[in-house]
Amino acid sequence: QLQLQESGPGLVKPSETLSLTCTVSGGSISRSSYYWGWIRQPPGKGLEWIGSIYFTGSTYYNPSLKSRVTISVDTSKNQFSLKLSSVTAADTAVYYCARHSGLGPNNAFDIWGQGTMVTVSS
Protein backbone atom coordinates (compact mmCIF):
# COMPACT_ATOMS: atom_id res chain seq x y z
CA GLN A 1 0.00 0.00 0.00
CA LEU A 2 1.01 3.62 -0.39
CA GLN A 3 3.51 4.85 2.17
CA LEU A 4 5.16 8.21 2.74
CA GLN A 5 8.46 8.78 4.54
CA GLU A 6 10.00 12.10 5.53
CA SER A 7 13.76 12.57 5.67
CA GLY A 8 16.16 15.39 6.38
CA PRO A 9 18.26 17.05 9.08
CA GLY A 10 16.82 17.05 12.57
CA LEU A 11 18.68 20.20 13.58
CA VAL A 12 18.83 23.48 11.66
CA LYS A 13 20.53 26.71 12.72
CA PRO A 14 18.56 29.95 12.99
CA SER A 15 18.44 31.99 9.76
CA GLU A 16 19.32 28.93 7.68
CA THR A 17 17.08 26.91 5.34
CA LEU A 18 15.20 23.83 6.47
CA SER A 19 15.12 21.12 3.78
CA LEU A 20 13.03 17.97 3.92
CA THR A 21 12.14 15.27 1.42
CA CYS A 22 9.12 12.98 1.29
CA THR A 23 9.60 9.66 -0.49
CA VAL A 24 6.46 7.96 -1.78
CA SER A 25 6.45 4.18 -2.07
CA GLY A 26 3.79 1.74 -3.23
CA GLY A 27 2.52 4.09 -5.91
CA SER A 28 3.61 6.70 -8.41
CA ILE A 29 3.34 10.43 -7.77
CA SER A 30 3.01 11.11 -11.50
CA ARG A 31 0.45 8.41 -12.30
CA SER A 32 -2.22 9.72 -9.99
CA SER A 33 -4.45 12.75 -9.73
CA TYR A 34 -3.55 13.59 -6.18
CA TYR A 35 -1.93 16.59 -4.61
CA TRP A 36 0.77 16.09 -2.00
CA GLY A 37 1.26 18.30 1.01
CA TRP A 38 3.37 19.33 3.97
CA ILE A 39 1.93 19.96 7.44
CA ARG A 40 3.74 20.80 10.65
CA GLN A 41 3.02 20.59 14.36
CA PRO A 42 5.04 22.47 17.00
CA PRO A 43 5.57 20.49 20.22
CA GLY A 44 2.34 20.28 22.19
CA LYS A 45 0.45 22.42 19.70
CA GLY A 46 -1.91 22.11 16.76
CA LEU A 47 -1.44 21.40 13.08
CA GLU A 48 -0.53 23.91 10.39
CA TRP A 49 -0.80 23.30 6.65
CA ILE A 50 2.35 24.55 4.89
CA GLY A 51 1.64 23.91 1.23
CA SER A 52 0.84 21.37 -1.45
CA ILE A 53 2.05 20.33 -4.89
CA TYR A 54 0.85 18.39 -7.94
CA PHE A 55 3.21 16.22 -9.98
CA THR A 56 3.22 18.88 -12.71
CA GLY A 57 4.78 21.29 -10.24
CA SER A 58 1.65 23.32 -9.55
CA THR A 59 1.81 24.59 -5.97
CA TYR A 60 -0.40 26.12 -3.29
CA TYR A 61 1.09 27.70 -0.18
CA ASN A 62 -0.21 28.86 3.18
CA PRO A 63 -0.24 32.67 2.82
CA SER A 64 1.35 33.06 6.25
CA LEU A 65 4.42 31.09 5.13
CA LYS A 66 4.42 31.75 1.40
CA SER A 67 7.37 34.16 1.40
CA ARG A 68 9.66 31.53 2.93
CA VAL A 69 8.37 28.26 1.45
CA THR A 70 9.29 26.37 -1.69
CA ILE A 71 7.81 22.96 -2.47
CA SER A 72 9.12 20.98 -5.43
CA VAL A 73 8.63 17.54 -6.94
CA ASP A 74 11.00 15.01 -8.50
CA THR A 75 8.91 12.44 -10.33
CA SER A 76 11.97 10.40 -11.34
CA LYS A 77 12.65 9.72 -7.65
CA ASN A 78 8.97 9.66 -6.63
CA GLN A 79 9.69 12.40 -4.12
CA PHE A 80 8.55 15.86 -3.21
CA SER A 81 10.47 18.33 -1.09
CA LEU A 82 10.07 21.26 1.26
CA LYS A 83 12.39 24.21 1.74
CA LEU A 84 11.69 26.76 4.45
CA SER A 85 14.09 29.69 4.56
CA SER A 86 15.19 32.05 7.34
CA VAL A 87 14.07 29.70 10.08
CA THR A 88 13.66 30.70 13.72
CA ALA A 89 12.86 28.79 16.89
CA ALA A 90 9.18 29.19 15.99
CA ASP A 91 9.74 26.77 13.10
CA THR A 92 10.66 23.97 15.50
CA ALA A 93 8.06 21.28 14.86
CA VAL A 94 7.26 17.80 13.67
CA TYR A 95 6.95 18.02 9.90
CA TYR A 96 4.59 15.64 8.12
CA CYS A 97 4.11 14.90 4.47
CA ALA A 98 0.71 13.65 3.37
CA ARG A 99 -1.52 12.92 0.40
CA HIS A 100 -4.69 14.84 -0.37
CA SER A 101 -7.59 12.43 -0.62
CA GLY A 102 -9.09 13.57 -3.91
CA LEU A 103 -8.62 15.64 -7.00
CA GLY A 104 -7.14 19.03 -6.24
CA PRO A 105 -5.63 20.56 -3.10
CA ASN A 106 -9.02 21.26 -1.52
CA ASN A 107 -9.27 17.82 0.00
CA ALA A 108 -8.53 16.20 3.33
CA PHE A 109 -5.28 14.34 3.97
CA ASP A 110 -5.86 10.59 3.90
CA ILE A 111 -2.34 9.13 4.00
CA TRP A 112 0.39 10.57 6.22
CA GLY A 113 4.06 9.97 6.78
CA GLN A 114 5.22 9.22 10.31
CA GLY A 115 6.62 12.73 10.72
CA THR A 116 10.10 14.02 11.41
CA MET A 117 11.12 16.36 14.22
CA VAL A 118 13.09 19.42 13.22
CA THR A 119 14.65 21.63 15.87
CA VAL A 120 15.90 25.12 15.11
CA SER A 121 18.77 25.92 17.43
CA SER A 122 22.33 27.17 17.30
Give whichever of 19 and 62 is closer to another protein, judged by the CB atom.
62
Q: How far is CA 92 from CA 22, 31, 107, in A?
A: 18, 33, 26
Number of residues this chain uses to bind another protein (CB under 8 A) = 23
User: Considering the rule CB under 8 A, would residue 63 count as an interface residue with another protein?
Assistant: yes
Asked if residue 115 binds another protein (CB under 8 A), the reply is yes
Residue 23 in contact with residue 78, Cβ under 8 Å?
Answer: yes
Spatial CA neighbour of 38 closest among 102, 101, 95:
95
Binding another protein by CB under 8 A: which of 30, 58, 101, 119? Answer: 101
Residue 47's CB: how many other CB atoms inside 10 A?
12
Stretch that binds another protein, among 8-16, 17-25, 62-70, 82-90 (CB under 8 A): 62-70
Contact between 70 and another protein per CB under 8 A: no
| Maximum Cα interatomic distance, the chain, rounded to a whole number of Å | 41
Q: Which stretches of the chain bind another protein, using CB under 8 A?
A: 37, 46-49, 52, 60, 62-64, 96, 98, 101, 105-110, 112-115
